[in-house]
Amino acid sequence: MPRIQTACPRCRQPILADVQQLFDLTTDPTAKQKILSHTTNTARCQACGYEGLMTTPVVYHDPEKELLLTYFPPELGLPVNAQEKQIGPLINQVVNALPAEKRKGYLFSPQTMFTYQTLIDKILEADGITKEMIEAQQKRVGLIQRLLTTGKSEDRLAIIHQETDLVDGEFFAILGTILESAVAQGDQKASQLLKEIQMELLKETKVGQDLLAQSEETQTALKALQEASKSGLSREKLLEILLGLKSENSLTTIVSLTRSGLDYQFFQILSEKIETADAVTKPSLINLRDKLLTLTAQIDNELKKRVDESTKLLNSIITEPNIEDAVKKHLGEIDEFFSHAVQIEFDAARQNNDLAKIEKIQKVISILEKESAPPPEIALIQKILEVRDETARAQLMQENSELVNDEFIQALSGIISEGETRGQQPELIESLKQIYKAALRIVMEKNLKS
């Protein structure tokens, strides 16, 4: 992505900005995320604080949805033929990146978007997100902002009661995302305020009360599962726990966690229970069986789909001439399903005595292990925590003094802050604080010597 120097539209100071004109999902799977998140083509001025979109032509291509969109900023004031000279080469790149058999008619009639927002709306519309849905989400976000800027709890409650129609499941999902972001950034003040607002909403709205009841029901079921697991969770006990659930969300959560226990024998036990049940109980048992069969089928289908996609990705990676570059390019797509696919493909290659494929998969595993290794400072923190003796801890830090630096201190501070916010074990937090003090002393001594 080219980085250019331009002038700030407000104060005219020189600034650097990342510019991207072509967003093509054929060559860049993250293209949609980039354009929707405004992480590119945005000018930010450190001098005056200005932030806004840059005036640059854009071409967006999604081959799966057969979507080819163009946008040319009207403020550039260029005639149509001059616009086409700039847009044309970008469209040629789109066409050339596709195999001949995938070049379809839509490529030769791109849709012109007259505003940048229209471009964004069109992309979202193709994903099934309508303008009305966007406006509704903006209203929810606006309500959260109002609550965050309202100081007194009683004033927030008045706003909540006035805007109760906006508080739905989607609203709580947005609030949860904002809260997670504040926690991740170590913003304790914002995290605490968001938690207070979340609890007020849970207690004061119908949707919140339902969510709170479902959460409590799920937590009770999870505790029952944990207790049963201590002595060995039986299928009979699992059935008993499932029978006690009332909400669909709780049932879905517990089923997703206990899928392996919902096997042929489990359903045989449930069927026997249905056969011996009275006329009053039998319908509810049959309904439960139908729901469980549907949920397990959905889980299995989703698992198969994800593993198939990961298998396809793995086979694509190992056919690349440079496997390391291919793995790094797709790191954002690698998850537990990919790991599962790697194991399946490795076992299959070994059974087929496919030595070439075994070697390539082993290389993928080696690269992933290297890429997933924690940063040196995090690895050192973990190593220090394993040592209980204070003298031994101090010695370990002295032996690795080159790693005990400002980055080490910052990493420790972030871990402590997040641990306190998440309510982790006090003993762990105290150990981290002791390590922090010792590390701070070492860094200060190093700074004094230098």
Tens digit of each residue's pLDDT (9 = 90 or more) over 5-33: 777 777 888 887 778 899 999 988 888 88
- Confidence at residue 228, expressed as pLDDT on a 0 to 100 scale: 86
Q: Does 374 have pLDDT greater than 80?
A: no
**Which position has the token pair 């609890």?**
199
For the segment 377-417, what is each residue's pLDDT rounded down to a tens digit?
777 888 888 887 878 888 888 888 888 888 888 878 878 87
For the segment 44-98, what is each residue's pLDDT rounded down to a tens digit?
777 787 777 888 899 999 999 999 999 998 888 888 888 989 999 999 999 999 9
Q: Does 277 have pLDDT greater than 70?
A: yes
Report, as an integer, the average pLDDT of 216-239.
Answer: 88
Distances (CA, A) of 224 to 221, 254, 284: 5, 11, 22
**What is the DSSP secondary-structure string of 208-266?**
HHHHHHHHHHHHHHHHHHHHHHHS---HHHHHHHHHT--SHHHHHHHHHHSGGGSSHHH
For the segment 149-168, what is each residue's pLDDT rounded down to a tens digit?
998 889 999 999 999 999 99
List the chain domain ranges. Answer: 3-129, 132-204, 303-372, 376-449
For the segment 182-220, what is each residue's pLDDT rounded down to a tens digit?
777 777 888 889 999 999 999 999 999 988 888 888 888
The DSSP output letter for 374 is P
Q: How confident is the model at residue 450 (pLDDT cuts 50, 70, 90)?
A: low
